[in-house]
Amino acid sequence: MFNLVKPAIEYKQSFIEAVKEFHLENQEHSLIISELEEDFDKLVRKYQNLEKGIGLKEGYVPETRLWLVEENEFIGWVAIRHSLSESLMKGGGHIGYKIRPTKRKMGYGSKILELALPTALKLGIKEALVTCDDDNVASAKIIEKNGGILENKVELSDKLVRRYWIKI
């Protein structure tokens, strides 16, 4: 059984293993293994503060970060942004998600987005903007499976980005 949970210390080891997988793909460089091993609570507090809007960088908005877990194993994360800044309106959207590499192509991407939508609605988001790179066919299918309607494609940082809206 899998579900969305708030980040918590009980998922530390599994989360760190996932970060190692992301690093092998040259992703998630802001997460440093030695720092996570030394003080995992710091990461949990960071996500709690992001949700409350505490300590946000310029141009950032509050976001709720949730983890998809199955039998206490970290599968992936979803970030639900409470509002859209100008840059998020162009390319980041309300909802972003990532599945650990060893768990891809198993239906988790579709499930994490499906499970995130009720939380977005509770935050007052009735239509969620969800984006993906134009060449990310798997993510486009996930968004479309969850009701995403393609509005347009925009060029951002030398890449084409698809912008979808999901009515919740």
Q: What is the mean pLDDT of each run of 10 residues along the chain (168 residues)?
A: 94 96 87 92 96 93 97 96 94 95 96 97 98 95 98 92 97
pTM assigned to the model: 0.94
> Got the DSSP string for 2-69?
EEEE---GGGHHHHHHHHHHHHHTT--TTS-HHHHHH-HHHHHHHHHHHHHTTTPPTT---EEEEEEE
Domains and CATH numbers, the chain: 2-124 (3.40.630.30)
